[in-house]
Amino acid sequence: EPRFLADYRPADFTINTVNLSIELADTSTKVINELELVKQGDHQQALVLNGEHLTLISLVLNDQPLHAELYQLNDTLLTIPASSLPEGDSFTLIITTEINPLENTALEGLFKSGDAFCTQCEAEGFRRISYYLDRPDVMATFTTKVTADKTLYPFLLSNGNKIDSGDLPGNQHFVTWYDPFPKPCYLFALVAGNFDLLEDKFTTMSGREVALEIFVDKGNLAKAEHAMVSLQKSMAWDEQTFGLEYDLDIYMIVAVDFFNMGAMENKGLNVFNSKFVLADSQCATDSDYFNIEAVIAHEYFHNWTGNRVTCRDWFQLSLKEGLTVFRDQQFSGDMHSSAVTRIQNVRVLRSLQFAEDAGPMAHPIRPEKVLEMNNFYTLTVYEKGAEVIRMLHTLIGVENFRKGMDFYFARFDGMAVTCDDFINAMSDASGKDLTQFKLWYSQYGTPVIKVAQAFDAATGIYTLTLSQQSPVTKKQENPQALHIPIKIELINKDFDTNASVNTSNLNQTKLLELTQDTQTWSFSGFSQQPTLAMLADFSAPVKLDFSQDETALLTVMKNAENSFCRWDAGQKLLMSYIQHLTFDADYVISPALIDAINSMLMGGEDRAFIAEQISLPSFDEAAGLMIDIEPLALFDAISTLSLFIAQGAQQQLLATYQACQQVGEEDCVANRALKNVCLSYLSRLPEYQYLVAEQYQQAANNNDITQENMTDTLAALTCSAKVNLPDLSEQLQHFENKWHDTTLVMDKWFAIGASIVSDDIFTQLNDLLKHPQFTLKNPNRARSIISAFAMNNPKYFHCKTGKGYQFLAQQIAKMNEINPQVASRLVTPLIQYKSFATAHQQLMKAELITLHALPNLSNDLKEKLDAALID
Ligand code: ARG
Ligand code: ZN
């Protein structure tokens, strides 16, 4: 029963208007759904509506009850044959159903989050609310009347503008909403609850006033300020950057604790995971602040890229997601350091998306075959999708890109379209032929670019030859050459000829367009061979087959104008040591590394950038560059390198740590970032471990509460957990006593507990699972133990007894019964077993086989396990 992109056809019927009346009750909510349907073209097809977990009460067709023998019903479809439909092309259908929100632990459709009702309809959740043509190319205007108990649910919200409200008998009340913009049902939302409300406004560039409302749990009002400011910044940025203005009179955001994903862009009524709304300086980290701003922006930007122009079908998901991630990344870069933002985006891509693209669930950014759509909200569709948009931006330039966006909205506003439509708008705007570029949408896997250089001293000509290869597999037997923008810098200096970063224009920056399997470029006018800095700004989501010696890497680190290249050269140098140490634990690391670290610490870069420079590649980043990984050897290699740097550079690390502590509010985020990387090195040396305890006291247990800080607290706890310092249990106890009433902070506490590097970890994990505040029903809480362990504790996740894999599989099995979507995401580290050495592969595979035999295996898990086990 998988679906294929190639099978797309337009719907036989469309829906013009929807009139919903929803009477909320915990276990029996009544939904009356009045549809105006129109037959599309001349045909005798049945009307087939999607519906799941619904109890049908009645059907009324053009005011006449439709009797049971005139339609068919099964677990997923309501079919009304042509013979039961009225004569004309348009007709009305009133569907009355009952649903049970309280029992809905999948958190799709209408469910309860704590005391509030809320919805999640993307991708195919509306069919759990009522029978419908649940596909994004069916767009209707919605009127929604919500009725509920007035005391328990003073706020009744839905999309669009409020048009009516009033009291009803029995302490009930109602509110009616009308959304004038036709939309697919995946953008429908309903929320009912008792909240604190933060109100503000925004005046758009044409002078319209928009009411901004953020709804949070009672008592959390102060924690919504940052989200509000982020929303206002997003609205201003989209006007300035793309000329895009908000279109309704009201924009609402509701924060809920039970949510599968980050957030959802429902028209005029975003529903957010509370972790991407709530923040104050005591309880949120700097990266929480950053992420909240980014997710608020992402959902806001969807109002144009997603809602005003939406997807024709779910295979086109990257049309809205890749583009909107690109937009939120550009926004974050403009709000903060664009260099550091880019580095962090690339780290995610290389560590997690590359692994996905090499694993059994690998798919093009526009997938061609889907069993469970929720499985395709992936790093590939989102992050690689954003890289594809970025390549386009690089190839045609910022002005043509803006022109292309203008074309796109002029042509497609109010429509449901395809990725091709978007690329065609960009091609028409820029005059550039993007036919070959479109292959990025249909081919999968990370291309490898092989680099060869030659220099002719007699003529001064430097020659660069690049070859590309996408993975050849059974699913992709004959991959074609892609159109790849390769930005390079040719450096005319040796690393030791100039003390500071070179900002003179001796370097040449070029944009090469690699379109063939192999291509050669020549550059003249060099008196000596220039040093090549490849992939400036990480201009394409590719891997390089290019070994540069230490001298060349040091030259790039010091003299490249492109900050990404400077950072990347340092990472390559570090990575080469990790690789050597993985194969040979006694490998002797060159003392030149210490000089390099010291000069980074003393270099003229900003501190957030230095923090990125001296941070080692993570376990996953390193793993992404290796095959047949011995995970424990890799873990030890990273630890050895870290200890070597700590010992060699201790004086400079300490000096930097102290210097960062001395600054005030100015650049405090950058200072904390650098300070805490230094602390993580220093905490490996017994003589500096007192610093960790001191920092914890300062940041978490300070007489002056305004001095307390969650970034520094968690950094100290992370050091204590990674090194398993003796103070750890006392710190964790203190932290728990202090924060036991604050859900989001307790998630951090559970996550630290799951990442302790201790032989006792399995006992500790079981204690955490038995903690009175632990529940698998809350996705954030579940992930705070399960994902934190699988992702942040590689030494024990990969322990050679297989206990780590077994722990993960056991939790997935429980989660399969509760929340299939979350269960399916948790299985990622196991299905990527092929990148590990045989002994680990076998242990992981055994767990996959056990899971595959589960009695109520969901489609979500089945799709991934099938792929992993036949692969
Ligand atoms: N469109 C939402 C966003 O990008 C994510 C929705 C994910 N839904 C899902 N069922 N996986 O912010
Ligand atoms: Zn999105």
Put residue 305 in one of left, alpha, beta given phi > 0 → left and psi -120 to 50 → alpha: beta
Instruction: For 642-661, write each residue's pLDDT tens digit.
Output: 999 999 999 999 999 999 99
CB 380 within 8 A of CB 332: no
CA of 39 to the centre of ligand 2 (A): 32
Contact 839, 800 (CB under 8 A): yes
Q: Which tens digits make up the pLDDT trace of 23-49?
A: 999 999 999 999 999 999 999 999 999
Q: What is the token pair recorded at 363?
A: 């798919």
Instruction: For ligand 1, say whether the CB of 568 is within 6 Å of any of its atoms.
Output: no
Describe the crossing of helices 225-242 and 398-412 by its angle, rounded to 10 degrees: 100
Beta-carbon neighbour count of residue 431 at 10 Å?
8
Report which secondary-structure segment, H or E, holds 39. Answer: strand 29-39
* 3-state SS assignment for residue 95: strand
| Pairing status of strand 155-158 against strand 140-149 | unpaired
**Ligand 1 pocket member 122 (CB < 6 A):** yes
Task: For residue 570, give the amino acid letter.
Answer: G
| Alpha carbon nearest to ligand 1 atom 5, residue | 264
Task: Say what the pTM is.
Answer: 0.98
DSSP characters for 618-642? PHHHHHTT-SSB-HHHHHHHHHHHH
pLDDT tops 70 at residue 390: yes
Q: Mean per-residue pLDDT for 366-372?
A: 98
Ranking 86-100, 504-518, 636-650, 820-834 by mean pLDDT, the lowest is 504-518
Q: How does DSSP classify residue 755?
A: T
321 lines ligand 1 (CB under 6 A): yes
Q: Which ligand has the shortest distance to the CA of 120?
A: 1
What are the CA-CA distances from residue 626 to residues 543, 582, 619 (Å)? 12, 10, 11
The finding on whether 123 has its CB within 6 A of some atom of ligand 1 is yes
Cβ-proximal residues to 162 (8 Å cutoff; 6+ apart), any chain: 175, 176, 177, 250
Q: What's the pLDDT at 276?
A: 99
Is there an atom of ligand 1 within 6 Å of 179 CB? no
What local confidence, expressed as pLDDT, does residue 497 receive?
Answer: 45
Q: How far is the CA of 247 from the centre of ligand 2 (A)?
A: 19
pLDDT average, residue stretch 770-797: 98
> Which residue reads 């700004």 in tokens?
537
- Is there a contact between 471 and 479 (Cβ–Cβ < 8 Å)? yes
For ligand 1, atom 3: residue with the closest CA: 264
Q: Which ligand is nearest to the Cα of residue 271, counting in written order?
A: 1
Q: Is 469 helix (H, G, I), strand (E, B) or coil?
A: strand
C-alpha span between 247 and 52 (Å, rounded): 33
- Candidates 156, 131, 126; CA nearest to 60 is 131
User: Minimal CA–CA distance to 677: which of 634, 645, 631?
Assistant: 645
Beta carbon of 386 within 6 Å of any ligand 1 atom: no
DSSP state of 836: B
Kindly write down the DSSP assignment for every residue of 118-184, as one continuous string: EEE-TTTTGGGTS-B--STT--EEEEEEEEEETTT--EEEESSEEEEEEEETTTEEEEEEEEEEEE-
CA of 320 to the centre of ligand 2 (A): 7
Q: Which two tokens stand for residue 280?
A: 């104050």
For the stretch 171-185, pLDDT in tens is 999 999 999 999 999
* Distance (Å) of CA 151 to CA 192, 258, 850: 11, 22, 48
CA of 331 to the centre of ligand 1 (A): 20
Closest CA to ligand 1's atom 11: 374
Residue 302 CA: which ligand is closest? 2
Distance CA 549, CA 546 (A): 10
Residue 576 amino acid letter: S
Neighbours of 67 (CB within 10 A): 9
pLDDT at 604: 82
CA of 261 to the centre of ligand 1 (A): 6
Write down the pLDDT at residue 323: 99
Which residue owns the Cα nearest ligand 1 atom 2?
264
261 DSSP assignment:
S
Which ligand does the CA of 820 lie closest to?
1
Q: Please give the ipTM for the structure prediction.
A: 0.98
Say if CB 494 and CB 547 are below 8 A apart. no
Ligand with the closest atom to the CA of 122: 1
Nearest to 17 by CA among 176, 220, 179, 247: 179
Instruction: Look at residue 494 in the predicted model and tell me its pLDDT.
Output: 57
pLDDT of residue 291: 98
Compute, in angstroms, the gap from residue 315 CA to the centroid of ligand 2.
Answer: 14
**Nearest ligand 1 atom, CA 324:** 4
> Phi and psi of 278, rounded to 5°?
-85, 130
- For 787-796, b/e burial (b = at least 16 CB within 10 A) is bbbbbbbbbb
Query: What are residue 487's DSSP bridge partners?
Result: 511
> Taking the CA of residue 814 as centre, how many other CA atoms within 13 Å lie in the half-sphere pointing to its CB?
12
At 792-842, the pLDDT tens digits run 999 999 999 999 999 999 999 999 999 999 999 999 999 999 999 999 999
Judge whether 3 and 26 are in contact, CB under 8 Å.
no
Residue 159 has pLDDT above 80, yes or no: yes
The single residue listed with the structure tokens 């913009």 is: 181
Of 29, 34, 86, the C-alpha closest to 59 is 34
Neighbours of 517 (CB within 10 A): 11
Nearest CA to ligand 1 atom 8: 122
Which ligand 1 atom sits nearest the alpha carbon of residue 299?
12
CA 320–ligand 1 middle distance (angstroms):
11
Antiparallel, parallel or unpaired: β 369-370 and 3-4: antiparallel
Taking the CA atoms of residue 813, residue 814, residue 820 and residue 825 in that order, the dihedral angle to the nearest 10 degrees is -60
| Helical (H) or strand (E) element with 582 | helix 563-583
Q: Catalytic pick from 122, 299, 621, 847?
A: 299
- Provide the token pair at 514: 């690699």
Report the nearest atom of ligand 1 relative to the CA of 377: 11
Name the token pair of 466: 């690049």
Give the whole-number percent of the chain exceeding pLDDT 90. 96
Say yes or no to pLDDT of 299 above 80: yes
pLDDT tens across 220-248, in order? Answer: 999 999 999 999 999 999 999 999 999 99
Closest atom of ligand 1 to CA, residue 306: 1
Mean pLDDT of the chain: 97
Ligand nearest to the CA of 320: 2
553 in Cβ contact with 357 (< 8 Å): no
Render pLDDT for 476-489 as a digit per residue (tens, 0 to 9): 999 999 999 999 99
Question: Is 337 close to ligand 1, i.e. is its CB under 6 Å away?
Answer: no
Any atom of ligand 1 within 6 Å of the Cβ of 137? no
| Count of other CB atoms within 10 angstroms of residue 168 | 12
Q: What is the pLDDT of residue 220?
A: 98
Residue 119 CB–ligand 1 contact under 6 Å: no
377 CA to middle of ligand 1, Å? 7
What backbone torsions phi and psi does residue 346 show, to the nearest 5 degrees? Answer: -70, -35
The interaxial angle of helices 550-559 and 592-602, nearest 10 deg, is: 0
Cβ(860) to ligand 1 under 6 A? no
The amino acid occupying position 458 is A
- Indicate the top mutation candidate among 327, 370, 377 to test ligand 1's pocket, ranked by most ligand atoms within 8 A of CB: 377
Strands in 448-456's sheet, in edge-to-edge order, are 518-523, 461-469, 448-456, 543-545
- Tell me the C-alpha distance between 550 and 557, whole Å: 10
The pLDDT of residue 502 is 42
**In angstroms, what CA-CA distances link 230 with 212, 224, 279, 496?**
12, 10, 12, 44
Instruction: Write the pLDDT tens digit of every residue in 488-509.
Output: 999 987 544 444 444 444 688 9
Between the CA of 326 and the centroid of ligand 2 the distance, in Å, is 10
- The closest alpha carbon to 108, from 181, 189, 179, belongs to 189
**DSSP-assigned letter for residue 362:** -
Q: Is 106 in the pocket of ligand 1 (CB under 6 A)?
A: no
For residue 312, report the phi and psi dihedrals to the nearest 5 degrees.
-65, -40
Does the active-site annotation cover 87?
no
Q: Is 234 in the pocket of ligand 1 (CB under 6 A)?
A: no
Sheet holding 109-113, edge to edge: 109-113, 116-120, 190-193, 155-158
What is the enclosing helix (H) or strand (E) of 699?
Answer: helix 690-700
Place of tokens 């590394």: 593
Q: What is the pLDDT of residue 664?
A: 79
Best residue among 185, 261, 317 to mutate for probing ligand 1's pocket (most ligand atoms within 8 Å of CB) is 261
Task: Decide: 361 in ligand 1 pocket, CB within 6 A.
Answer: no
Q: What is the model's pLDDT at position 505?
A: 47
- Say how many CA atoms lie within 13 Å of 824 toward its Cβ: 26
CA of 374 to the centre of ligand 1 (A): 8
Question: For 428, phi and psi rounded to 5 degrees?
Answer: -65, -35
Listed in sequence order, the DSSP H helices in 278-348 are 286-301, 317-335, 338-348
Taking the C-alpha atoms of residue 582 and residue 283, their distance in angstroms, rounded to an integer, is 38
Classified as helix, coil or strand, 511 is strand
CA of 265 to the centre of ligand 2 (A): 7
Kindly write down the DSSP assignment for every residue of 63-93, as one continuous string. TEEPPGGGSEE-SSEEEE-GGGS-SSSEEEE
Using a 10 angstrom Cβ sphere, with 0-12 exposed, 13-18 middle and 19 or more buried, the burial of residue 88 is: exposed
Q: Which pLDDT does position 78 carry in this prediction?
A: 98
- Between strands 543-545 and 448-456, the pairing is parallel
- Integer Cα distance of 311 and 300 in angstroms: 17
Of the chain, the end-to-end C-alpha distance in Å amounts to 19
CA dihedral defined by 338, 340, 345, 349, rounded to 10 degrees? 130
**Which residue of 107, 120, 121, 122 sits with most ligand 1 atoms within 8 Å of its CB, as the best mutation to test the pocket?**
122
Is the CB of 328 inside a 6 Å radius of any atom of ligand 1? no
Least confident of 57-66, 363-372, 434-443, 597-606: 597-606
Give the per-residue pLDDT at 700.
Answer: 97
**What tens digit of pLDDT does each residue of 129-142 get?**
999 999 999 999 99
- Summarize the confidence of residues 836-857 as an average pLDDT: 98
How is the chain split among helix, strand and coil, in percent rounded to 5?
A: 45, 20, 30
* CA gyration radius, the chain: 28
Contact 340, 609 (CB under 8 A): yes
| 372 Cβ closer than 6 Å to some ligand 1 atom | no
Reported as type and span, the H/E element at residue 251 is strand 250-256
Residue of minimum CA distance from atom 1 in ligand 1: 264
